[in-house]
């Protein structure tokens, strides 16, 4: 079984090029004893995991050249997210989470951190940001990033809400950027 670990906004249409910051935690579990081929015995009980990474610019160029591939990747990412959300709901309903409030808080923090990373990546690409600000606003909406978390993310990036709305940093005549 495979999972997308991080996609930095691709599912929402944020096709940034260049280096994109992101973070994740990968947890690999041993296969259960009912596995048909007893793979864990063959490899000495070790857990095997494979992590693939693509050059973001090359991937974006490929997706821009092939609209069918772009649509397919967005669909796959969306289904992966839906599957994960359903799994989270099942985990809660099966009472596998001891403190649902704490768990929800951590999930919200992860979502806010992902948004802050995407925001930082976009703000470092001013022309892209101007063209795709609506997509970022859409991302905020679908991921329930409230105004307080948005303002905190902007502050971390060194931007003000008014600069964000204007689509550019304010410039000081003496120093350049204020």
Predicted confidence pLDDT, tens digits, the chain (178 residues): 666 666 666 766 667 777 766 666 676 777 665 544 445 445 566 777 777 888 888 988 999 999 999 899 888 888 887 888 788 888 888 888 888 888 888 888 888 888 888 898 889 888 889 998 998 898 899 888 999 999 999 999 999 999 999 988 886 555 455 5
Query: Rg (Cα) of the chain, in Å, rounded?
Result: 20
The token pair at 150 is 């948005």
Torsional sign, CA 74, 75, 76, 82:
positive
The C-alpha atoms of residue 106 and residue 97 are separated, in whole angstroms, by 12
Q: Show the CA angle centred on residue 117, arms to residues 114 and 120, nearest 5°.
A: 150
Query: Which pLDDT does position 65 carry in this prediction?
Result: 95
> Which of 65, 135, 144, 89 has its CA nearest to residue 112?
144
The C-alpha atoms of residue 60 and residue 15 are separated, in whole angstroms, by 6
Query: Which pLDDT does position 175 carry in this prediction?
Result: 47
Query: Which pLDDT does position 149 carry in this prediction?
Result: 93
The token pair at 170 is 């304010």
Angle between the 100-123 and 67-93 helix axes, to the nearest 10 degrees? 160
The token pair at 142 is 């679908």
Q: pTM of the full predicted structure?
A: 0.65
Q: How far is CA 63 from the centre of its chain?
A: 18
Query: Which pLDDT does position 88 carry in this prediction?
Result: 80
Judge contact between 121 and 10, C-beta under 8 A. no
In the three-class reduction of DSSP (H, G, I as helix; E, B as strand; rest coil), residue 8 is classed as: coil
């Amino acid at each position: 079984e495979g999972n997308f670990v991080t996609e930095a906004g691709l599912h929402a249409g944020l096709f940034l090029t260049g280096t994109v910051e992101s973070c994740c935690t990968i947890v690999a579990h041993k296969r259960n004893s009912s596995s048909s081929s007893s793979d864990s015995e063959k490899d000495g009980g070790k857990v095997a995991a494979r992590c693939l990474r693509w050059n973001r610019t090359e991937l974006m160029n490929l997706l821009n050249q092939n609209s069918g591939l772009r649509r397919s990747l967005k669909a796959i990412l969306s289904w992966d997210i839906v599957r994960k959300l359903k799994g989270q709901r099942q985990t809660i309903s099966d009472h596998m989470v001891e403190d649902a409030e704490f768990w929800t808080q951590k999930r919200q923090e992860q979502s806010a951190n992902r948004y802050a990373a995407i925001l930082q990546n976009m703000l470092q690409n001013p022309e892209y940001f101007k063209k795709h600000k609506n997509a970022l606003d859409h991302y905020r909406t679908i991921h329930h990033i409230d105004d307080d978390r948005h303002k905190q993310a902007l502050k971390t990036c060194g931007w003000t809400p008014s600069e964000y709305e204007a689509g550019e940093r304010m410039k000081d005549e003496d120093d350049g950027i204020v």
